[in-house]
Structure 1
Amino acid sequence: MASLPTLRAVWGSAPLFSVGVSVLIQDEAGRVLLQHRGDDGLWGTPGGGLDPGEGFLEAAHRELREETGLECPNLALMGLDEGLVGGPEFYHRYPGGDEVYMVGMRTHGTLPAAALTGARPDDSGETLALAWFGLDDLPPLSANANVASMNVLRARAGLKPLPLLPFPDPPPLSNHLARLRAAVGPRPLFVPGASVLVGNERGRLLLLRHARTGQWVLPGGKLHPGESFRACAHRELHEETGLRAVRLTPVQLLQGPEFRYEDSGIWDSVGVLYRAEEVTGELTLPEGEIAEAQWWTADELKGAELLGLYTRRSVEAWAGQTSPSSRASLRP
């Protein structure tokens, strides 16, 4: 992504998405590794923003190395239920006044306590100190992203959640990413969003034909600042189909260099795929954006003109087509 300081030069201090990764490391006693931060003097997990085209796990290893000098061989993405970050509570205002809504994923790994003796943070000043802390004896934490991460670990340990820090109401829904694109030109930008798999009782999948491209897509779209991935999925499902789901279950994270595309600039997708359950309502399409809707069987989908790799991977998740040969059978 264009670096936040570069974006600030044309956007000012108003809210931006900060797409990043948190690195949760625990030792053999269950203590968590925290970093004494140089910007606000509080404590948090190692982590930071993604570089253009970078995957979350790749970024996690890089940030851990930069901020601690450590390597964690078993570092892995957490499951979507525990790992996703996004929503109004992840608002943060930095000491200089810049505002962000943090969006991203958590990773988790383990290291022996003695590994800390070999820690060598870089000289950026981000890390003032590193220390192990018990989950029931945590220091003052920086931002709700860190409070929420500690609550994930505390829930695993059977501890009560910590209260979140106060946060403002999100701004009104707006064409945030379109306005940002107009301001920054064609440089790479992350685009967080959500898509929804809607099946019917006959085992068919709902796809929508995009009016501009003529290709088939899932219901879905881009996040608004302060919106969670799940809230985005609910909103887009209703806006594009008139349908509502009692539950949306996260199925897959679609992110990484293979999900980069160009459309009036370079976009790096950060998408979460949900499965709709207990769907109600009457199928109603918005004028202009969606040309038609159609229910597809798995066999019929092999000949569908699907919009991009993102849609193809989503359809494969629904159809159970995960082998290289079956992936190749879906037309670009």
Structure 2
Amino acid sequence: MDSSDRIEHFNNPNAPKPNSIVVAVTVFVQDEHGRVLLIQRTDNGLWALPGGAQDFGEYIAETAVRETREETGVEVEVTGVVGIYTNPNHVVEYSDGEVRQQFSICFRGQYLSGEPTTSDESSAVQWVRRDELNELAMHPSMRLRIEHGYERRNEPYIG
């Protein structure tokens, strides 16, 4: 899929109306130096936490582990929930006519093993220091999740 196949609308009053909601995950995982694992997406070129849609037959925590492995080559275990992100003003328009309202659970993951490795969905994978985040092209909703991940709230964000 190239970048023309996916258009993100964020707080855009002219955005098309959503016609689907898909359960998806992102994963906030840090290494021993406090760096966060990020991918550069092949579909839009933006930096993001690894993640993706839940498949039939899997628990949602399994989705988080699988998507992180597939997109980054890194093995993690889920240790908690950073937040649940359902902003109705954030929709993604696909070339096939699907317009998806955001529904994403951001999990906290614990690094287990593996080295950052690219995939069909990630043109770059790297551990990023917090002070380097502002240099990266990233969607505002992803920045929010990363900030919440660093905050280590007592309760998950719900929004």
- Same fold by TM-score, threshold 0.5 exceeded? yes
Correspondent of 2:117 among 266, 284, 307: 284
CA contact (8 A) 1:209 1:292 kept: yes
For residue 296 of structure 1, what is the aligned residue in structure 2?
128
Higher helix share: 1
Higher strand share: 2
CA contact (8 A) 1:244 1:279 kept: yes
- Measured after TM superposition, the shift of residue 187 of structure 1 is 5.5
Unaligned runs of 5+ in 2: 1-16, 154-159
- Measured after TM superposition, the shift of residue 213 of structure 1 is 1.5
- Counterpart amino acid of residue 106 in structure 2: L
Correspondent of 1:220 among 42, 51, 56: 51
Residue 268 in 1 paired to residue 89 in 2? no
Distance 2:115 2:89 in 1: 35
**Greater length-normalized contact order (CA 8 Å, ≥ 6 residues apart):** 2
Distance 2:42 2:77 in 1: 28
For residue 69 of structure 1, what is the aligned residue in structure 2?
none
CA RMSD of aligned residues (A): 2.3
Distance 2:94 2:23 in 1: 15
TM-score, normalised to structure 1, is: 0.37
- Measured after TM superposition, the shift of residue 293 of structure 1 is 1.3
Partner SS state of residue 272, structure 1: strand
- Counterpart amino acid of residue 202 in structure 1: H
For residue 77 of structure 2, what is the aligned residue in structure 1?
246
- Counterpart amino acid of residue 90 in structure 2: F
| Worse overlay, 222-231 or 192-201 | 222-231
Q: Give the 3 Å change call, closer, same or farther, for CA 205–242 of structure 1 in structure 2.
A: same
TM-score, normalised to structure 2, is: 0.74
Superposition pairs of residues 37-186 of structure 1, within 5 angstroms: none
Identity over the aligned pairs, expressed in percent?
29
CA contact (8 A) 1:197 1:274 kept: yes
Unaligned runs of 5+ in 1: 1-185, 323-332
For residue 316 of structure 1, what is the aligned residue in structure 2?
147
List per-residue Cα deviations over 1:49-72 (Å, max 9, x = no partner). xxxxxxxxxxxxxxxxxxxxxxxx
For residue 138 of structure 1, what is the aligned residue in structure 2?
none
Distance 2:77 2:121 in 1: 25
